Amino acid sequence: MTTISTDSQMLKRTSEIKKENTMKRVKVIIRYLLLSLLGLIIFMPFILAFLGSFKTGAEIIAFPPTLFPEKWMWRNWPDLFNTDLGGSPRLEGSTSIGLIVGLFAFYATFFLTAMSNQQEGKGVPLKIGLPISILLIGITGYVISVYLGSSFDASLILRASTAIALMLLMLIALGIIGMSEPDWGRVLLSLFGSILVAGVVTWLFAQMAISIGGGRFTRWLFNTALLSVVRAFLQLIFCSMAAYAFARLKFPGKKFIFGFMLASMMLPGAVTLIPSYILIAKLGWINKFYSLVFPGIVVAFGIFLLTQFLKAVPRDLEEAALIDGASYFQIYKDVILPLARPALLTLFILQFQAMWNDYLSPLLYLNTPDMWVLNVALEVFKQQYVAQMNLVLVGAIVNALPVLVLFFFFSRYYIEGVSYAGVKG
């Protein structure tokens, strides 16, 4: 009797466990269905807009609206890229595009090739290598000035301001490498090669911008993509170096400088809008990419985000690299940056999205059709093609897709990186 009673209790308990598991599965399924339904509702405007890009203009404004088009107008997409608001490509705008991309090519090439494990003293000495490097950068600045003067009728102020700005950024890169006591023979070779690579890239992208055209949708997409990618990558380089110094190094006034940098985040953008515009106009950078890249090459939020992340990196790895003879720059490049990949991707996504969605700054500084970005161009395009809402809708979809795709593929790194923003070192 006892055995039968025990078996009955076990069967009853097993049945109760199965019921509990079934209820849990049902609750999970219901939860996922509700979340999916909520996500579909939130995403529905984009779905309707995407489907509307294949409709005729009459179908888009018809009431009641329809979900799917009566006839799929596939030609709406190629028609958008064939539109032309007029305006030919200008050499001054194209050269600014080329020089900005060339600057990024210089930094990427120089930082990847300038350092080696060879100690100072076994190659070209500092007292010879440093002056020659500075002279080489000075010659490059003069060549940039001549290039601007020969490409179009550039003013003396524009030639001088652009050449000086690019030379200063190149000197910053040289100074960072020089603090790590490198082999100056390798630095000279890397500097010369990086300048050649930057020159080729500059000419290539300037010619590419001219060949694409002026007031065309292809040119606007080219401008927006190039500006967003290059500025986001340059911000990664400068913000990560500043964050490495704040998080891992000790120097006088570090807390004061970091606090002052954080205090700059409290200033509204409207406060600096007019002074910034006056300065950019005085430098001759209106309607050129310099106006959007050089002032925004460092952002306080990016430094803060990466600093908080780097404070959580174990110091044992850094100390081991120092024992092996690595310089600070080698530790930054080979140890810190690979570990900071989630935060770097987070910052890249945020800054790429910020530039891609920016409207006010491009509206102020870029004022000809060949230099417009998508947000500014779509506003003008909407006024010109007010009777063709299908083309306007296609343009809006094209403008939204890159950011959505970027977030979709890198959302895991984005969430992981943001979670470190509040980590206290």
Give the pLDDT confidence of 331-340 residue by residue, as tens digits. 888 888 888 8
- Pick 219 or 10 by higher pLDDT: 219
The residue written with tokens 């109760």 in the block is 16
Q: Is the dihedral of CA 267, 273, 278, 284 positive or negative?
A: positive
d(CA 320, CA 312): 17
pLDDT at 121: 47
Residue of 395, 373, 406 whose CA lies nearest to 49: 395
Whether 393 contacts 53, CB under 8 Å: yes
**Phi, psi angle pair for 73, to nearest 5°:** -95, 80
Predicted TM-score of the model (pTM): 0.86
Of 205-209, 268-272, 312-316, 318-322, the range with the highest mean pLDDT is 205-209
For the purposes of burial, counting CB atoms within 10 Å of the CB of 287, is it exposed (0-12), middle (13-18) or buried (19 or more)? middle
**How many residues does this entry show for the chain?**
425
Whether 233 contacts 348, CB under 8 Å: yes
- pLDDT, tens digit, 9 for 90 and up, residues 116-150: 655 544 567 888 889 999 999 999 999 999 999 98
CA dist list (Å): 65 to 48, 69, 73, 74, 347 = 10, 10, 17, 19, 40
Q: Where would I find the H helices in 213-336?
A: 217-248, 254-263, 273-283, 290-293, 300-310, 315-323, 328-331
Model confidence at 204, pLDDT cuts 50, 70, 90, reads very high
Model confidence at 292, pLDDT cuts 50, 70, 90, reads very high
Residue of 289, 169, 142 whose CA lies nearest to 230: 289
pLDDT at 7: 61
Whether 402 contacts 356, CB under 8 Å: yes
d(CA 351, CA 229): 9
Q: Which two tokens stand for residue 326?
A: 């690595």
Model confidence at 423, pLDDT cuts 50, 70, 90, reads very low
pLDDT for 231 beyond 50: yes
Percentage of the chain modeled with pLDDT above 70: 92
pLDDT at 181: 79
Whether 283 contacts 154, CB under 8 Å: no
Model confidence at 205, pLDDT cuts 50, 70, 90, reads very high
- pLDDT, tens digit, 9 for 90 and up, residues 163-197: 999 999 999 999 988 888 788 888 999 999 999 99
Q: How far is CA 100 from the centre of its chain?
A: 14
The region of weakest confidence among 125-134, 145-154, 312-321, 338-347 is 312-321
- pLDDT, tens digit, 9 for 90 and up, residues 15-24: 777 777 788 8
Whether 192 contacts 96, CB under 8 Å: no
pLDDT at 424: 44
pLDDT for 214 beyond 70: yes
Q: What is the mean pLDDT of residues 198-207?
A: 95
pLDDT for 96 beyond 90: yes
d(CA 55, CA 389): 9
Q: What is the mean pLDDT of residues 299-321?
A: 85
- pLDDT, tens digit, 9 for 90 and up, residues 36-53: 888 788 888 888 888 888
pLDDT at 4: 58
